[in-house]
């Protein structure tokens, strides 16, 4: 069975500071990994995805994430936070070749950006 743990339900950073949102996964087979962003009262938007190609994945809005198999992690980073990055972020996993065609989501991390 697959699972996702997002450490920290709330993260606050100053504008211009590094953003680090943590995601650890559990999967019995090689995973596909995703980060989504949700702005208030909107649907989820894909930021980036890992599909077993490059371990360092670049996404939209300057975000990137690195797949580390030894640490079972897929942390999301951005060098310099912008006020518009304030949103909720979800990490998700699916298993390659799995019969269940659905993602498993983490509980989410709300990012606040202070001026």
Partner 1 sequence: SQTIHQWPATLVQPVGSPLSLECTVEGTSNPNLYWYRQAAGRGLQLLFYSVGIGQISSEVPQNLSASRPQDRQFILSSKKLLLSDSGFYLCAWASMRTYNEQFFGPGTRLTVL
Interacting residues toward partner 1 by CB under 8 A: 32, 34, 36, 41-46, 49, 51, 90, 94, 96, 101-103, 105-108
Q: Assess contact for 92 and 33: CB atoms under 8 A.
A: yes
Pick between residue 9 and residue 80 the one whose CB is nearest to partner 1. Answer: 9
Here the tokens at position 107 are 């509980």
Q: Minimal distance in Å, beta carbon 19 to partner 1? A: 20
Pick between residue 53 and residue 115 the one whose CB is nearest to partner 1. Answer: 53
Pick between residue 53 and residue 56 the one whose CB is nearest to partner 1. Answer: 53
10-14 and 109-114 strand pairing: parallel
Here the tokens at position 56 are 């360092």
Q: Minimal distance in Å, beta carbon 100 to partner 1? A: 8
Q: Minimal distance in Å, beta carbon 80 to partner 1? A: 27
Neighbours of 101 (CB within 10 A): 6
Here the tokens at position 67 are 């797949």
Pick between residue 17 and residue 105 the one whose CB is nearest to partner 1. Answer: 105
Q: Is 101 helix (H, G, I), strand (E, B) or coil?
A: coil
């Amino acid at each position: 069975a697959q699972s996702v743990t997002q450490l920290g339900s709330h993260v606050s950073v100053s504008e211009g500071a590094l953003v680090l949102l943590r995601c650890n996964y559990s999967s019995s087979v090689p995973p596909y990994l995703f980060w989504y962003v949700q702005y208030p009262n909107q649907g989820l938007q894909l930021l980036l995805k890992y599909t077993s190609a490059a371990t360092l994945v670049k996404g939209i809005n300057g975000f990137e994430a690195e797949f580390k198999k030894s640490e079972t992690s897929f942390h999301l980073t951005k060098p310099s936070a912008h006020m518009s990055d304030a949103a909720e972020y979800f990490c998700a996993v699916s298993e390659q070749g799995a019969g269940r065609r659905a993602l498993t989501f983490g509980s989410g991390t709300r990012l606040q950006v202070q001026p």
